[in-house]
Amino acid sequence: MLIRIVNESSHPLPAYATSGSSGMDLRAELKEVLTIEPLQRTLVPTGLFIEIPEGYEAQIRPRSGLAIKQGITCLNSPGTIDADYRGEIKVILINLSHETQVIYPGDRIAQMVVQKVERVEWEQVESLTATTRDAGGFGHTGKS
């Protein structure tokens, strides 16, 4: 799939790290080092603007290494970039650790996955088809 992109950052275009990668790393487009205090959230620019084809979305997801090593993750995860959005991609990060964390210009801060999106039409009915689970919610099976 070919997607149009404008790169106003000082970094290369997002790319797949391996042939089996689902996501492409996004980098922080910062002029200076960014510190994130414990439980602080911040919006980090990437300098990227994309034109996603209709019927698709880009999902912004956390990077597992950043989460486990520094306690930094993405809020609103996965974040959705709609096909009609043309603004800069920015990533909402939060520091869930007990220590101040630092993001440097060019750090890989999130990953982006492009997915097909199905549109639905609603059929309003009076009842739904019964299943074995029915309305059983969180922990309904009692298994750990």
Domain of 96, CATH number, reads 2.70.40.10
| pLDDT score of 133 | 80
User: Roughly how many angstroms between the first and final C-alpha of the chain, as a whole number?
Assistant: 41
Q: Is the pLDDT of residue 144 over 90?
A: no
C-alpha 129: how far from chain center: 34
pLDDT digit string, tens, across residues 54-105: 999 999 999 999 999 999 999 999 999 999 999 999 999 999 999 999 999 9
| pLDDT score of 103 | 98
With respect to residue 125, please indicate whether it lies within any of the assigned structural domains.
no
| pLDDT score of 140 | 65
With respect to residue 7, please indicate whether it lies within any of the assigned structural domains.
no
User: How many domains is the chain partitioned into structurally?
Assistant: 1
Contacts of 12 (CB under 8 A, 6+ apart): none
Q: How much is the pTM? A: 0.88
pLDDT digit string, tens, across residues 106-126: 999 999 999 999 999 999 999
Is residue 134 very low, low, confident or very high in pLDDT (cuts 50, 70, 90)?
confident
From CA 48, how far away is CA 88, in angstroms rounded?
Answer: 6
Q: Domain span at residue 88?
A: 23-116
pLDDT digit string, tens, across residues 16-50: 999 999 999 999 999 999 999 999 999 999 999 99
With respect to residue 143, please indicate whether it lies within any of the assigned structural domains.
no
